[in-house]
Structures are given as C-alpha cells and as structure tokens.
Amino acid sequence: MQEDRRLPLEGIRVLEVGELIAGPFTCTLLGEFGADVIKIERPKRGDLIRLFGPQTDGEFVYWSMLARNKKSVVVDLNNTAGRAILGDLIRQSDVLMDSLRPGLFDTWGFDDETLQSMNPRLITLHVSGFGRTGPYSSRPGYDPVAQAISGLSYMTGDPNGPPMRAGGSIPVCDFTTSFLGALGICLAIIERFSSERGQVIDVALYDLAFRVLAPLLTLYDRSGEVYGRHGNRSLGGGPTGHFRTKDDTWLAISIQGDDQFDRCARAIGREDWTEKPEYQTIDSRTIHREVIDGAMADWVAVRTAEDVVDKLESNGLVCGVILTPADAAQDPHLKSRSLHRSGTDGSLLPWPVPMLSCTPGQSEGRAPDLGEQTAEVLKQILGYTDDRVESLRSAGIIEML
C-alpha cells in the first residue's frame, strides 16, 4: 500500500442519517476511499448497530467495522432546533444518505425539492425496504422481507424443503444494497462534474437481489415455467454442489462445459461417462445429475479434501474447500489478498474493495464513541460558537464528549 496518497473521494462530505446496515455501510464504503463521513446519531443510545450481533470484550464487531472512519454527531432530530442543525449540515454537504423510515424526511420539511433548493449540488441517496415509488413504498422493510419479496428466499434451499434465507443470519440484501448505493453516489458525483447539479438516488433492499433473479421472471413470462430450488447446485450441468470428504471437510465442486465434464470423468475413473449419449450435453447432464452427483459424492467420500482438490485442480477443474471463519482467518490466499492486521490494535481487518492500483482505500480508523465529534463538527464546519454549542448541549438538543 502506498503512503501519503490522495484518496479518490477526499473533499467529499457525506452526511449519514440512518441506522443498522444498508444505508450506513454505503457510507462506510465511501469513507474507506476518503469521504468525510458525518454520522448523525440519536441521543442516549445512538445507532442500534452499536448493540447488535456478536461482541468481543464488550465491543460489538459489526459496529467496529461499519463505523470506522466516521464522525459521530449526536443530535435530537425530533426537536425543531435539532432539525435546524441538520439543515445547516445539509447545506454544507455533498451527499446526504437517508435510510430512516420512508417519508420521515418529508414530514420534517426536507422533501427532495426543498433539499435541492437548500443545496443545488446535493446528492441525496434514499435507502428503504421497497423504494420511493410503487404500492409498497411506505412500508418498512428488513433483509428477511427483502429476500422474500425479491424471490431470493424462494430460490434458496433444498428442492423439497422450505424457502430459506440466503446467507443465514448474514443480511445479504442489506450489504448488496450498500454497494448499489455507493455506486449510485459515485455515478452522481461524476455527472455533477459537468452539470454542477445534484440529484436523487433511490435504492431498495430488494433491488440487486431481484436484478440478479430477473432472468427467471423472464423465463416465467415466456414459458410459464416457475424455476424452483436446486439446493447447492448450479443452474445446469453436473457434477455441481457440496460434497463431504473422508476427513469431514465440505467441498464445493462445479463442473460445467463438455470439456470439463470429460476431464472430470477421466479424473475420477468414470471414463464410461464420456461414451454415454445422455451425458453429452449440459442439458442432458442436468436431467441426469442425481446419478452424476451421487457418483461424485461416493468418490469424494473415500478421499481427503487435500487429495480431492489436488486431483481436480491438476485436471484444470474448479473446486474449493468450504471455509469456516476460523479457516478463513488462516487461509493463505485471503491473508495475502483480503486481510491484514491493524497497525493500532492488531485486529484482523479486511482491505477495502474494490482494489484500486493507484488509490487503494484506507482500512485503519476506529469506530467513534457516541457524540465524539459533535462539538468539532458544529464548531469547525458550521461555525457555531462555544456559547451556542454549550446552549444546545444544556437544552438536550445535542450530546458530546
């Protein structure tokens, strides 16, 4: 990593007004590439993510990862004076991220038209369960519901089992929405270079999940076929799926094209497959993959993971060990490409993605204490006097350390 480099989003001020994951992680991604992220938190408890999920030594790990490189400003937005502070910050910001309950900004007098009149160059990102248009637009939504509405849950699970939540307890739609939001903001910043105008971005939790499943809706529209659950198998071909080894390790194996299938057949001693008419195309192998996958499972079951991986990879075939978090922390490829030790507390951290050759992101930086930068932001950015800040604190409008 280069030192003393200029990050691509330096000089961009982002105002974050939201909680939990989808909206705030959007701002985390921007902050990792240099944006100045000011996070507005509610008094007393702050963002719910401060007390969400697993923890170590009293620190909640989701908060420590999602809030790094941010400034915490505590303002009571249920108060008129607090909303006046918000308005002042909006006028001084390049980007506003709103992931509060749909319509709440409008009831506060900050509808999109008003925001643009306050700050014509403002880029506003609204993150919600169902978007700003359509009959569901006023409904709240979390990841499990977004997965349901998008069809992702219907497609996840065993063929004869119930629909499942993709990723288990990992909020897949929340995180993918964040990348979509960050992309939208960067596109709007690029457009603003020529037009000098801001714009409004609307993303919903189910947007990206639905987008990747949309071909199956097209399939239904054209043919009437409802594509069902196929467990861990790919869209077609075989053998594909998860297979258990002799040493109790799970492997993911995916064999697709005709040439791959021929090499796989010879590698596992099933040369007879290459002569069977029913195995000559992907479509026909898909029809017969119960038999193909069963034979692969039997072959894998009497071998160690190392032996299986060596055998398949030496034949140019695709397979990989299914890692636990403990495995991933020690994996040589992840340690080389994706992970590093913090220079401050020694914690294992992910490198920011995407990986840019000249301006890679910053992975250091701790999550702020509640209200840690309230006074700094109000004085340095808004120009509030010491007396005014103290008056707001005494009135309970703000909190600060």
Residues marked as catalytic: 174
Half-sphere exposure of 168 (CA within 13 A, CB side): 0
| Cα separation, 252 vs 64, whole angstroms | 31
In 3-state terms, what secondary structure has residue 208? helix
User: Taking CA 253 as the corner, what is the angle to CA 249 and CA 257, rounded to the nearest 5 degrees?
Assistant: 170
Residue by residue, DSSP assigns 238-283 as SSEEEEE-TTS-EEEEE--SHHHHHHHHHHTT-GGGGG-GGGSSHH
| Cα separation, 309 vs 42, whole angstroms | 51
Tokens of 208: 């990206």
H or E stretch covering 178 = helix 172-195
Strand order in the sheet with 318-321: 240-244, 250-254, 318-321
Beta bridge partners of 341: 348
Neighbour-count burial for 219-233, b at 16+ CB within 10 Å, e otherwise: eeeeeeeebebbebb
Contacts of 308 (CB under 8 A, 6+ apart): 243, 245, 251, 300, 319
